[in-house]
Amino acid sequence: MGRKSDPTSFAYATSEISAATSESPPTLNTPPVAVPNIDDVNSDLKGLPSLPYEVRSYEPYSVCSLAYEGGPKGFQALAGYIFGRNEEGEKMQMTTPVFMGREGGGRRMSFVMPSDYWGDEAKLRENAPTPIEGTGIVKVPVGGEVRAAMWYGGIGSQAAAEEKGDELFRAIGEDEEWRIVGGREGMMVANYNDPFTSPWKRRNEVQFKVERRGMS
């Protein structure tokens, strides 16, 4: 008997993203993309570039974010906000990656916003379009932080994400320099490709926030 679909799972979210975007305007896939400015400090801080994971220092950036329980509405709301369904009617470029993580008993999905809106909270509040009231979308500045990331391909199923998450969690547990902040529940999944990209060409990641051992 097959496993029952979990409407809060990463796999369910990925399948619903595909369903939602297949019905969206073709412009979803045509805008140029932007990514957070990543300073890959793995080789400098660890001296072990052959490790199966990277330790990265992320500079501050901003996201639009929404708590969701399942179904395509979460992705559609965030995509709508990016493509002009906001108080100002302002259209923005589509960005990558899409982040998904746990929050309480549900999930939170976040789109990285265009770099014009990266910076402190005041800059984000004043310059980024205002979400329409009732959508549940919030604009959130993400401060500079260090994360460990492990890459995997394929469609980004829940099983693959959890397997890689366990692998990364164990690896960092054995790392002599870094430790995970927030425990196993702090795992984030990053999807870098649109749903129409062939599975063997896709890039997915699991990430944990980390800090140097002995910092606290």
**Alpha carbon distances (Å) from 105 to 47, 68, 70, 164, 185:** 39, 10, 12, 21, 11
d(CA 128, CA 174): 41
Q: What is the pLDDT of residues 39-81, one digit of tens each?
A: 544 434 444 445 689 888 888 889 999 998 766 778 889 999 9
CATH number of 10-212, picked from 3.40.50.300, 3.40.50.620, 3.40.920.10, 3.20.80.10: 3.20.80.10
Determine contact, residues 79/66, Cβ cutoff 8 Å.
Answer: no
- How does pLDDT run across 116-125, given as a tens digit for each residue? 888 778 888 8
Task: Check residues 27 and 136 and name the one with the higher pLDDT.
Answer: 136
Q: State if pTM tops 0.85.
A: no
Whole-Å CA distances, 102 to 52, 108, 183: 24, 6, 12
pLDDT at 71: 64
Distance CA 141, CA 118 (A): 7
Q: What is the mean pLDDT of the chain?
A: 78
Residue-wise pLDDT for 134-192, tens only, equals 999 999 998 888 899 999 988 878 889 999 999 999 999 999 999 999 999 999 999 88
Residue among 79, 137, 107, 113 at smallest CA distance from 12: 107
